[in-house]
Amino acid sequence: MVGIAPSSPSAPLLDGIVVVDLTQYLAGPTCTRMLMELGADVIKVEAAPYGDPARSFSPRVNRRSGFFIQQNRGKRSICLDLSSVEGKEIIAELAMKADVLVENFSPGVMDRKGLGYEVLAAGNPRLVMASLSGFGQEGPLASKPAFDFIAQAYSGLMHMTGETDGPPLVVGSGIADVNVGVHAFGAIGHALFRRERTGVGAHVDVAMVDALVHMHETAIYAPSLDPTFRPVRQGRFYQPAQPAGVYKGPEGWIVIFCTQGQVDALWRAMEQPELGTDPRFATNSGRLAHREDLATLIERWMEQFERDDEVIKLLELHRVPCSRVKDPAELGDDDHLRQRDAIRTVSDPLVGSLVTPGFPIHFGAGAPPARGASGDVLAPNLGQHNREVVSGMLGWNADRIDELERRGVLVAKDR
C-alpha cells in the first residue's frame, strides 16, 4: 500500500496513504485526525485492555466520550497488548505496509520496544515516522515529563498570559497539544513530498515546547535588541500598541485593535475626532502611556449603547478591527463558522448529534473538501477493526487471531 497514487484528480489529497496511529489523548490524535480528513486510512492502535484514555473523558453519553468522538472519527481501531511479542509484531508488520507512523510515547519508548525509526525504516525505507513529545527526542530535557501546562510554562507563553501585576495564567484550551499536532501534520506533508522526489522517508521530531516558542512574535527578539525591553503579561491590553485590548461593552467584552493607520477610524466611529490631536493620544507612545485614560473614554462611549452588537455594527461600518468576545458555547450557531465548516454537527450511533470543530484548511478549486462533515464518518468502537486489519491487511489467519483474542493480545469492546 505504500505510496499509492490518488485514484483520480477528484480523490482526497491523501487518498491511498496509510497511517499507523500510535497516539492517545489530544496532541497525536489532532495530527492523525487532520490526516484522516484529507483522506488517509488511519489505523488507530490502542493499548489493551482499555484503549485510548480519552475514551473515558467527560461528558459521556451511553459511556461514549464526546472528546474521543471529536478526535477519532473516521479512524479504524485495533486494540493490542503492546507489551506482547505478537503485539509488537503486528505494529512492525503494519509499519511495513504504511506510509506514515505517528507516535507520542515518551522519548525512547519505541526504541525499547524494538520499534524505533531505524528498525522500522530498515524494513520500509519510505516510512515517514512522526514522534510528538513535550521537549523533543533529543536535548538535555528530552526525558522530562510534560503536559500542555508544562509546555505553556517552559515556553514563556504562560509568562505572557494574565494581568500585568497578577500571576501567570494558563491559556484556556489545549494550545500546546493542538499546536504540536498541527505542526506535525504540516511536517508529515512535507516529508511525504520529499519522499516522492527521493524515495526516502524521514523521522519527524516535533515538540510542544518548540511549537509554543515559535508562537512568540516580540517577546524573544526584542530583549536581544533592546536590553531595557522586558516582556510582561499583557493583561487586557496589548503591550506594543494602543488602542488594542479588551474593553467592557454594554453586555459583555469587546476587543478593539487599531494600528496607527486605523486610529482615526476609531475616533470617527466615536464621533470624537478631537482625540486625534489630543497630546495624550496623537502618537502610539502617548496612547501607551495613557492607555487607562483611553480605555475609560472608549468604555464610556460604549455605555451609550444597549447591546454589544450595536457597538460592533458601528465599529465595522468605520472599518475598525473588532470582535465581541464569544463564549465557545455560542459557536455552534455561528453562520460564518458553519459556512466554512470550521464548526460542524456530527452524528454518533451511541451519542446522537454533537457539535465539533471542523477542518481548518481550505484548498479551493481543484481539490475535494475535507472528510468528516458527513454522518458516515464515525468514531470506532475499541478494537472494532481488529480482524479487518490483522487479517485483511496482514494476512494472519482466523485460528491465529482467535488464539490472540483468547490470550488478550487482541481486545474488542463496544465502547
SS3 label, residue 123 = helix
Cβ proximity of 291 and 244 under 8 Å: no
Of the residues 41, 99, 177, 205, only one is catalytic, namely: 177
Q: Kindly tell me the sign of the dihedral angle through the C-alpha atoms of 82, 86, 90, 91.
A: positive
Q: How far is CA 47 from CA 148, 239, 288, 306, 383, in A?
A: 22, 46, 54, 55, 10
Task: For residues 286 and 95, give the distance between their C-alpha atoms in angstroms, rounded to a whole number.
Answer: 61
Nearest Cα neighbor of 336 from 346, 350, 324 is 324
The set of cell numbers assigned to 413 is 469492546
Residues pairing with 172 in the sheet:
none
Report how far residue 30's alpha carbon sits from residue 96's, in angstroms, rounded to the nearest whole number: 24
Cα–Cα distance measured from residue 50 to residue 383, given in angstroms and rounded to the nearest whole number? 10
Rounded CA separation 409/401 (Å): 9
**Do 207 and 136 form a contact (C-beta atoms < 8 A)?**
yes
**Residue from 67, 116, 54 nearest 88 by CA:** 116
Q: Is 177 among the catalytic positions?
A: yes
Q: Which of 37, 38, 54 is nearest to 46 (CA)?
A: 54
Q: Which residue has the cell 488478550?
A: 408
Q: How far is 310 from 301, CA to CA, in rounded Å?
A: 12
Q: What is the rounded CA–CA span in Å between residue 284 and residue 108?
A: 51
- What are the DSSP E strand ranges found in 48-196? 60-61, 64-65, 76-80, 100-103, 128-133
SS3 140: coil
Instruction: Return the active site residues.
Output: 177
